[in-house]
Structure 1
Amino acid sequence: MPRRTPRTAPDRRRTSRRLPGFLKTASVCVLVAGLLTPLTRTAVAATGAAAPNDHCGGRCSDILPPGENGNATLAQILLNQAFGTQPAHAEDQLGPYADLATGYKTLTDATVNAFFNDASFGVPADQIASTEKPAGRTDVTIVRDKKTGVPHITGTTRYGTEFGAGYAAAQDRLWLMDVFRHVGRGRLTGFAGGAPSNQGLEQQFYRNAPYTEADLQAQIDNAVAHNGARGQQALADVKAYLDGINAYIDASDSGRYFPGEYVLTGHKDSITNAGTIDHFKVTDLVALASVIGSLFGSGGGGEVDNALSLLAAQDRYGVAEGTKVWESFRQRNDPEAVLTLHNGESFPYGARPADPRGAALPDAGSVTPEPLVYDRTGSAVTAGAAKTSATAAGTALGSARRGMSNALVVSGKHTASGHPIAVFGPQTGYFAPQLLLLQEIQGPGISARGASFAGLSMYVELGRGQDYAWSATTSGQDIIDTYAVELCQDDYHYLFHGTCTAMEKVEQKNAWKPTVADGTAAGSYTMRVWRTEYGPVAYRATVGGKKVAYTTLRSSYLHEADSIIGFQMLNDPDYVKGPQDFQNAARHINYTFNWFYADSQHTAYYNSGDNPVRATGVDADFPVWAAPAYEWRGWDPAGNTADYTPASAHPNSVDQDYYISWNNKQAADYAAAPWGEGPVHRGNLLDDRVKRLVAAGGVTRAKLTQAMADAGLADLRAEDVLPRLLKVVTSQPVTDPTAAAAVAKLQAWVTAGAKRTETSAGSKTYADADAIRILDAWWPLLVKAEFEPGLGTGLYTALTRNLPVDEAPSAGHGPTGSHAGSAFQYGWWSYVDKDIRAVLKEPVQGPLARTYCGDGSLTACRDRLTGTLKQAAALTAAQVYPGDDQCAAGDQWCADSIVQRALGGIKHGRIGWQNRPTYQQVVEFTSHR
C-alpha cells in the first residue's frame, strides 16, 4: 500500500544536537564533509521474482524503529546535527510505530500495514529501489525495497548467501558493530574516547564476561566440536559472513563512504583518507554475543543482595519470623501470579529446599564490592567515580539491561479465520541506530525474514520462515549462582577442592585521547577481574569469621557462542516443519528466553536456557560454600559444563488456547525467577485483554494488535491497584478539600480506562493529566508510608535494593532510566495489593507475613494513605517532572516520551510513550507446506 503520512511526526523540540560520548573527539568545524560522498546503491530495472514458498498470504507484518539505515557519512552526520535532516531510511519506521498509540482504536486488518511493514517474502517489481551484486559476486543479490530499504538477500550458494548477509549488515550497522565488538572486550574507551558513558559501558560488561582472546576462540572451537555437521556449517557461515563485512569495509574505504563516526573519533582522516577500519574476525562475533547474552539472556543472580535483606529481616524480627517475612516478600512461587502456561501444568525448579544446606551468609557489615577499576598507579578508583560511569552506562543502555518484551498468541480455535494469530516481539530498547536490523535471507538451507542483532545477523534471530513465525521474551529464570570461596595464604588465593589455588588476574588496560568538544582530558585506567574456577570475584566478606570471596558463576559463562546452533535450526526450512521441531531448535539456545511459535495450524511455547541441576538442599537464592557437596551436579570447571535439567522439565506447551508473556512467571512451581512475580504484574494487562478476546471468539489480527496497544498505554498501578487504594481512602467521607479533589480526579481517570494517552493525536498533552501527575507523585510516598514503619528503615531499604518501588514511564530513577519506553516491570504493586486487601479483609492467597498499612487497622491505613495523597496532590508538575537534557521541568508528556538513544552521530526526535516491543511482528499464516 502507499506510504502513509504519519499523523504524529517525531517531536524535535529541545532535542539535543550534542554529539554522544564516543563522538566528542573532533570539532564540528570539520567542514571537509563535502568530500565524503554518501553511499548510493545502484537502482536497476529488475523484475520481482515470485516470493519463494511464502505461506503467509500477505498477513505477515513487522516494524523496527527508527529505520533500517544505521550508517551515515560525515556529511550526513553534520547536516543532522545542524539541521535535523535524516539520511534515507534512517527514520522512516519511527512515524508509523509512534502512530499506533493514537490510531489503534480504529485499526482493521486492512489498515495493519499503515502501522507496520509488509513482511511478505520478496519485493514486488515496482517496489525495488536497488539491486546489488556485493563485491561483484555472481552467487548473491541484495535487493532493497523503496519503502524501508530493508535488504532482501538471495544466494545461489550457501557461502554467497552468508557473504551477502555480512555485506548488508555492514552497509546498515558497521559503526554500531564496531562499537560493540569493543564493548565486549572492555576496550571501548580506547576506541571511542573516555566519556563517562563509554567507561560505564565497558565496565558493565567486562565484570560479567572478562574474556581473553583465548576464551573467545575456545567458545567457537567448543561450539563447532560438539555439534557435528551443524557446527561445521555454523563456522563456515560465520567465515562467509565475516568475508562480506570485510569486503564492505574495503569498498567503503576506497570509495570514502564509510561511517562518519570514524572521522569524528580520529580513526580516519577526512582529507587524506589516512587511517584504517580494522577487519572483523571470528572472535569479534563472540565478543558481540557476550554483550547481547549479558543484556537479554542471563537470568538470576543477586544472591548477595538477597542475603543482606534476609539478614536485615532476621535482625528486625528474629531468625524464624524474619525468614517468614522475607519469604513473603520474595514471592518465589506466588499462587496469584499470572502464568504463561495456565492449564495447570507444573514445572518444579528453584523452589526453597525443605532443609537448606551449604548456605554461606555474610557476617553483618562485612560485605564489600570487589573493585573493578584501578588507576595507573594500581590503586582502586573511588566508589564515586565508579558510580558515575555506571550511571552513564545506564543512560546509554539502561533500557536494554532488563528483560522487556511481550507476546500474545491465540490458537486457531478462537480466531475468525481458524488460523493462529500472533503479535509478538522483543523490547531491546530504543537506540540510534537500533541494536537490531531487519533482513530477509534466502539461500540453500536458509529461508527467513526478521530481525537480528547487528553483527550477529548470519541468521534471522526473531522473525518468520516459509510457513511459521517465532519470537522471544526474556524469561529470567536463575542460571547464576554465587559461591563463597574460602581464602588462604592471602586475598588472592582460595581453597579449591582442598588445595590452596591462585586466582587468575585478568586485566584490560585502556587509554584515550583528549576529547576536544566537551573538554574531557586524556586518561587511562585498568579494569581488573580476579577469576576463580567458580567464576569472577564480585564481593569480599567474612562468613563465620572466615575471609571469603563471593564469586558469580552462570551456566552461559564461556558458552555465549553455543546458541548459534539453535538459530541455525530456526532458519532452516528443512528442519522446522512443526511445533516440535521449533521446540527442539529453541532447546539448543542456552540464553534464558521464552520462545513462542505460530504456523497455520499450531501454536507452541518453550522456555530455553541451560538450567543447572543443583545439589540437594542448595537454596539458589543465597550464596553457598564453594565445596564439591554444593556444586552443580556433573560440573566440570575446565569448560564450565554441568548437568542441566532435561527439555521436558522446562515449561513447554503446544496448542494452549492462548499464550501471553510480558516477562511474567512461566508456569506453576517454576520458582527460580526475578523478584516481583506476584498478583499484580504487567503480564496481567495482556492476560486480561486476551482472555476476553478468546472468550468472545473471532479474534483477528487487528483485535489482537489492539489488545497489545491498549495494554501498552495502561498504567498498571492505576488499572490494578488504585481502585483498592481509593476504596480505603473513601471508607469514610473525605472531607479535606485537597484530598477530595485528588480522589475525584483519580476516580475519573480509572473510569476512563486508566491510560496515559494524549487528548488528541499530536497534542503532546495527556488526558487526565492531573490524575497522572498525582499518582506519579503519590506512589513512592504511599509505599514508604505503608511499609517503612512496620519493616523499619534498614529492612525497607534492603528490600528496595531487591525490588525497586516504582517504574513509571517518567521514572529516571528506575531500573530502565528515563525515556526508555518500557515501564511497570519492576515495582511494589503486588505488595501494596496484597497488603491493602488484607486491610480490607478481602481474600488473599499467599499473603504477606504481616499486615503493614496502619498495622492492619483500616482507619490508621486510611490516615496514612490520605496524608500522603494530600502531600502528592500539592506537588507541582515541575516538582514531579523536574526536567532533564530532553525536557523542560513540568512537561509531563515529554518526561514520559521515548528517546532513541544515540549510539552514533545521527539523532532522532522523541515519540510519545508506548509500553511495547521495539521489534514487533503481526502474523497469521494461511497455509502450510
Structure 2
Amino acid sequence: MRRVVGVAVLVFALAGVAAAPAPAAVAPYGTDDAGGFRNILPPGEAGTDNAIQLAAFRANNQRPAHWMDQQPLYENLLYASPALTHDQVAAYYKDATFGVRPEDVETTETPRPGLTIIRDKQYGVPHVYGDSRADVMFGAGYAGAEDRLFLMDVLRHTGRAELSSFAGGAKGNREMDRVQWALAPYTEADLQRQIDQAPVLGGAEGAQLVQDVTNYVAGINAYIAKARLDPTKMPGEYAAFGKQPEDWKVTDVIAEASLIGGIFGKGGGNELRSALLLEALQKRFGDKRGRRVWSDFRLKNDPEAPSTIRRKRFPYETTPSFAPRGLALPDPGSVTFLTPGGALAGEPSGSARTATPLRLPIPDDGSIGSQLLRQFVGEPPHASNWELVSARESTTGHAIGVLGPQVGYFVPQILMEEDLHGPGIDARGATFPGVNLYVQLGHGRDYAWSATTATSDNVDTFAEVLCQDDTHYLYRGECRAMDELDVTNSWKPNVSDQTPPGSETLSVYRTVHGIVFARGKVGGKDVAFVTARTTYFHEADSALGFLRLNDPNFVKDPQSFRRAIDGINFAFNWSYIDADHIAYQLSGAYPYRSPHTSSDFPILGTGEYDWQGFDPDRYLMSTVPLDKRPHAVDPPYLVSWNNKQAPGWAAADDKFSYGPVFRSRMIEQRVRQAIKGPRKMALEQLVQAMEEPATQDIRAFALTRPLLRALGHPSSPTLRAEIDHLRAWAASGGHRRDLDKDGRYDDDQAVTLMDAWWPRMLDAIYQPVLGDEAFKDLKDMLGFGGPPVGEAATDYPGFSDGWWSYVNKDLRDMFNHRKPLGRLSRGYCGNGSRQACRLLLRRTLLDALTDSHAKLYGYGDCQSDPQARCFDQDRFTTASAVGVPNFPFQNRPTFQQTVELTQRLPR
C-alpha cells in the first residue's frame, strides 16, 4: 500500500529529492516512555488496499502487508489462557512502547516540513513526530487516511445519514440512514455550530481544539490529493462504488462524532416503551399489582447487582418511578411509533418519516449498512472490560492492568492505532479513524487509560402537548412550530450494489427538547413523544477530555486524570493506571431532572418539568458534577464489564438487566480469589481473569446451581443423564471453547442442550404468567440473551443483557432457604408453585432434546456445519473487498492493553 511502484512514479519521486521537505526530529525508541505497555488490535493496522492489491487478493488470496498480522496473537490467547505464564504474555500482546528501534523501521515519510511518520516492520503502526502541534495534527489526519480512507468515508457519510448516496440504495444502507437521521439529525449549520461554540464553552482549550481539528482535516486532504494522482494510494473500493474521495470538512469530523457518540456513549430513552409495558402489566394484573410486577423486572437499584464500586453510595435518580409530578403516561392504545423503514415496502423514491424504532428488522442484503446495523443497533457491542489491581495487591509491588474497549470486529478495524508526539502530546493507542486527531484509548508517558460503555441515563423522553396541528407544540406558554429536518439521498447502480436508481427524502421533526419519534395521547390530549439526549448539539465537546488525556503536562496522577475525564460528556466508565495507582471515574452529562419527577416514564414537555437549568438556545442543562459521579482511587482492585457503577447509581431506564447475575462477576471472582488473604496477583493471572470468562457461558456460571436444585432428582434416566452433563459442564468452567481443536466444543452436548433449553424455559415460565402482550413487550425491550439460535448467526453471544437475573432470583426465592435480597413481588416459575415449577423445568428440558443441531445452528454460513462452535464465531463487519476469516468465539475487548509499570517519570 505504501510502496512506490511503476517507472513514472519512480521518476517523479527522484525528481523531487532535491526539494524534499525537512523532516521532524524523531525521538529514539522508548523516549519519555516508562516501559511496560503492550497491546493488541486485530486484525491488523493496514486498511487501504489499492487496485493492484485488491487484484492480488482476488487472484490468490494474498492480503496487503499488516492486514491481519495481529489476528493470530489475539485469536490464540484462547488456547494458551488456561496455563498462561508471565513470559507468554508477550506472545499475545505486542510491544506498545513509544517510537521504533532503528533496525525496525519499515518506512519513513515526510508529508510536509516539520513532520515525520515512521512505520515499524512488525505491525506497520504509524509513529507521528511533529516539530509543532499543528504538524502532529496534520500527521494524524494523513496517517489516518493512509490506513483507513475508505472506511473513514463510510463513517462520515453514515454520520450524515447519507450512506445510500455513497454506497448504493440497498435496503440496509437506506435503513442505516434512517436510524442515524433519527438519532442525530443535523443541518450543516448545526454541525458548524459545534465548532463555533468550542472556544465559547471550552475557553483556551476549545480554541486549541478548533486549531487541532483544522490541521487534522488538512492532513486528510493532503493524502486525498496524493491519492488522486497516485493509484497506489487510492483504495480500490472507490472504483467498485463508482466514487472518488471528496475533500473533508471540519463538519465531517463532527458528523462522525455524532455517530460514534450516539451509539457508544449514551443510555436511557426507553421511557415510552417502559410505559407500554406497564400498561400491559396493569391490564393483566390491575394497577397496583401491575406496578409491582413492572418493578420486579426493572431492577433499577437491585441490592444484589455487582458494581465496580462495592460499598460507597452515589445516589442518582432517587425519585420513585411512579412519582406523579409531570408524569405523561400515554392513554391506552394511543401510541404510534414513527418507524424507520416505513417506505421500504414502497418505491425507492419519495418521502419516508423516521424516528427511533421499537426493534428493527435488519435487512439481510450484505450491504455495508446492514452490517453496521447489526453492530450498532441489533446488538450494540458492549463487551468492553477493564480490570486493575492495586500496587499493594500485585506481585510486583506496582499496579497492574488489563484494559480495553469492545467496538465489534471490522475489516478494516473501526479502530486504528497511532503513536503521536509533539508539543503538548505524547500518547499511543487506539482511536476511531475520521476523529483520530487524539489517541482515545491508550497510554501516555507513564500512565494508561481505557473505557467501557456506561449505559448510564443521559437520554429522556418528553411528551410535547400539541397545539394548532401536529407540527406545533406548547412550550412555556407559547404555541411553537417544530423544526423539520430533511436529508435527501439518491443512488444509482454500482459494481457492489445493483439497486436500481432512486432517491428518498428522510424527515424528522425537532422541538426544543429533541427529536419526535412517536405520537399518542396523554390525558386525552394529542402529544408528540420526543427523545432528549444531553449530548445532542454537543458531541464535539468530548474532544476536550481527549485533548487532556494526550497531554503529559495535564495528566500526572489519579486526580488530574479525573479532571481530564470531566471534559468528556459521553457516558463511559474510565479506568486509569500508573506504577503506583489505579483509579476509576464515570464520565457523562447526567441531567438534574425537575424535582420529584420520574426518570422511568415520559414527562410533560410544556416547560414546567424541564431539566434543571435547561437553556433551549444552547441545549445546556445542570448536570451531576465530577465528585458526585461514581469514582474511586486505589481500592484493592477495580473491575468493569459494562456493569452497574455503584450502589445508589440507578440503572438507566433502558437497562433492565442489572440484577444479581452479571458477567462482571466472572472476572471479579477470579481477581478476588487471586488476592485473597496474603496472596498477590501477577499480570498473567490478570490476563487469565479476563480471558477465561471470555469463553464462559454465564448461564453455566450462574444458573446451573439454582436450576439443578429446582430440577431435583427425577426418576427419568434421560433427565438424570442430561442433568449430569450440565453439572459437569459447570464444574469444568462452563466454557464455549474447543481447546483440543477437534472441531467441536469440549462440552458440546451440554452447550447445545442449554442453547435449546433456554428459550423454551423462558417461554414456559413467563408467558403464561405475564400474558402475550406484556411478555412480548418485555422481550422486545430485553432479549432472552445467549446465542440467537434458530436464525442466521450474525454476532457472537456477548452474554451482556438477558433474563438470567430474573430466573436466578425467582428460583432462589422458591427453592433456597436463604432468600435473595430485593425479593420479587411474586413467584413466576410455575406461577409460584414449587411443584409446578419443577415439572415445567423437567418438561422443557426433555423437549429441548428434540431440537436438532440443524434446527438450532444450521443457518447462514453454518448450514454445512450446524453446531455451536460455528454459530458462535466472531464475525467481521466488512467495509473492504479484502476480507478476513471468522475466528473462534471470545467475548473480550477489540483493542486491549496490558500494563505492568515499575516507574513514574518526572515532568
Q: Report matched runs for 1:17-36 at 5 Å.
A: none
SS of 1:169's equivalent in the other structure is helix
Residue of structure 1 equivalent to 2:192? 217
Q: Report matched runs for 1:367-446 at 5 Å.
A: 367-372=335-340, 376-378=349-351, 387-389=361-363, 393=369, 395-401=371-377, 402=380, 403-446=382-425
1:124 matched to 2:92:
no
Out of 820, 833, 846, the position equivalent to 2:822 is 846
Residue of structure 1 equivalent to 2:686? 704
| TM-score, scaled to structure 2 | 0.93
Equivalent-residue separation in structure 1 for 2:280 and 2:322 (angstroms): 22
AA in 2 matched with 1:399: Q
> Residues 158 and 49 (structure 1 numbering): CA distance in 2 closer, same or farther, change over 3 Å?
closer
Residue of structure 2 equivalent to 1:336? 304
Residue of structure 2 equivalent to 1:718? 700
1:66 matched to 2:43:
yes
Out of 462, 476, 495, the position equivalent to 1:497 is 476
Residue of structure 2 equivalent to 1:685? 666
SS of 2:87's equivalent in the other structure is helix
Per-residue CA deviation, residues 336-388 of structure 1 (Å, 9 max, x unaligned), is 00010013333333553574311111111111112556564446699999845
- Give 4+ residue runs of structure 1 displaced > 6 Å after superposition: 33-38, 40-48, 381-386
Out of 120, 128, 135, the position equivalent to 1:160 is 135
Q: Report matched runs for 1:226-625 at 5 Å.
A: 226-257=201-232, 258-267=234-243, 276-349=244-317, 351-352=319-320, 355-372=323-340, 376-378=349-351, 387-389=361-363, 393=369, 395-401=371-377, 402=380, 403-515=382-494, 519-625=498-604
Displacement of 1:397: 4.1
Q: Report matched runs for 1:719-798 at 5 Å.
A: 719-729=701-711, 731-732=712-713, 734-760=714-740, 762-798=741-777
SS of 1:695's equivalent in the other structure is coil
SS of 2:509's equivalent in the other structure is strand
Contact 1:41–1:132 (CA under 8 A) maintained in structure 2:
no
SS of 2:416's equivalent in the other structure is strand
Equivalent-residue separation in structure 2 for 1:782 and 1:128 (angstroms): 58
Equivalent-residue separation in structure 2 for 1:46 and 1:165 (angstroms): 14
> Residues 878 and 387 (structure 1 numbering): CA distance in 2 closer, same or farther, change over 3 Å?
closer
SS of 1:869's equivalent in the other structure is helix
Equivalent-residue separation in structure 1 for 2:473 and 2:364 (angstroms): 29
AA in 2 matched with 1:877: H
1:56 matched to 2:34:
yes
Equivalent-residue separation in structure 1 for 2:353 and 2:311 (angstroms): 53
Q: Which runs of 5+ in 1 are unaligned?
A: 1-32, 268-275
Of the structure 1 ranges 118-127 and 570-579, higher mean CA displacement relative to structure 2 is found in: 118-127
> Residues 37 and 305 (structure 1 numbering): CA distance in 2 closer, same or farther, change over 3 Å?
farther
Residue of structure 2 equivalent to 1:181? 156
Per-residue CA deviation, residues 140-199 of structure 1 (Å, 9 max, x unaligned), is 111111111000111111111111111111100111111111111111111111122211
Of the structure 1 ranges 592-601 and 697-706, higher mean CA displacement relative to structure 2 is found in: 697-706
AA in 2 matched with 1:779: W
Per-residue CA deviation, residues 183-226 of structure 1 (Å, 9 max, x unaligned), is 11111111111122211222221111110000000011112222
> Residues 916 and 253 (structure 1 numbering): CA distance in 2 closer, same or farther, change over 3 Å?
same
AA in 1 matched with 2:390: S
AA in 1 matched with 2:897: Q
Equivalent-residue separation in structure 2 for 1:153 and 1:102 (angstroms): 35
Displacement of 1:883: 1.7
Displacement of 1:34: 11
Of the structure 1 ranges 180-189 and 496-505, higher mean CA displacement relative to structure 2 is found in: 496-505
Residue of structure 1 equivalent to 2:883? 907
1:660 matched to 2:639:
yes
SS of 2:315's equivalent in the other structure is strand
> Residues 351 and 602 (structure 1 numbering): CA distance in 2 closer, same or farther, change over 3 Å?
farther
AA in 2 matched with 1:334: D
Residue of structure 1 equivalent to 2:171? 196
Contact 2:427–2:443 (CA under 8 A) maintained in structure 1:
yes
AA in 1 matched with 2:724: A
Equivalent-residue separation in structure 2 for 1:46 and 1:469 (angstroms): 26
AA in 1 matched with 2:102: A
1:109 matched to 2:86:
yes
AA in 2 matched with 1:108: T
> Residues 552 and 692 (structure 1 numbering): CA distance in 2 closer, same or farther, change over 3 Å?
same
Equivalent-residue separation in structure 2 for 1:296 and 1:505 (angstroms): 26
SS of 2:695's equivalent in the other structure is coil
SS of 2:34's equivalent in the other structure is coil
Q: Percent identity?
A: 41
Of the structure 1 ranges 412-421 and 352-361, higher mean CA displacement relative to structure 2 is found in: 352-361
Residue of structure 2 equivalent to 1:924? 900
Equivalent-residue separation in structure 2 for 1:684 and 1:351 (angstroms): 28
Equivalent-residue separation in structure 2 for 1:395 and 1:863 (angstroms): 42
Displacement of 1:81: 3.9
Displacement of 1:555: 0.4
Of the structure 1 ranges 157-166 and 567-576, higher mean CA displacement relative to structure 2 is found in: 157-166
1:627 matched to 2:602:
no
> Residues 790 and 661 (structure 1 numbering): CA distance in 2 closer, same or farther, change over 3 Å?
same
Equivalent-residue separation in structure 2 for 1:118 and 1:887 (angstroms): 40
Equivalent-residue separation in structure 2 for 1:121 and 1:923 (angstroms): 14
AA in 1 matched with 2:401: A
1:207 matched to 2:182:
yes
Equivalent-residue separation in structure 2 for 1:538 and 1:241 (angstroms): 35
| TM-score, scaled to structure 1 | 0.91
> Residues 248 and 71 (structure 1 numbering): CA distance in 2 closer, same or farther, change over 3 Å?
same
Of the structure 1 ranges 81-90 and 336-345, higher mean CA displacement relative to structure 2 is found in: 81-90
1:695 matched to 2:676:
yes
AA in 1 matched with 2:524: G
AA in 1 matched with 2:222: A
Displacement of 1:282: 0.5
Per-residue CA deviation, residues 10-64 of structure 1 (Å, 9 max, x unaligned), is xxxxxxxxxxxxxxxxxxxxxxx999999x999999998534554433x211011
Contact 2:354–2:507 (CA under 8 A) maintained in structure 1:
no
Per-residue CA deviation, residues 493-526 of structure 1 (Å, 9 max, x unaligned), is 1112222211111111111002456642222211
Equivalent-residue separation in structure 1 for 2:397 and 2:359 (angstroms): 59
> Residues 148 and 535 (structure 1 numbering): CA distance in 2 closer, same or farther, change over 3 Å?
same
Equivalent-residue separation in structure 1 for 2:307 and 2:221 (angstroms): 46
SS of 2:676's equivalent in the other structure is helix
Contact 1:738–1:873 (CA under 8 A) maintained in structure 2:
no
Per-residue CA deviation, residues 251-288 of structure 1 (Å, 9 max, x unaligned), is 11111221111111112xxxxxxxx4211110000001
AA in 2 matched with 1:487: L
Displacement of 1:750: 1.3
Equivalent-residue separation in structure 1 for 2:358 and 2:440 (angstroms): 39
SS of 2:627's equivalent in the other structure is helix
Residue of structure 2 equivalent to 1:676? 657
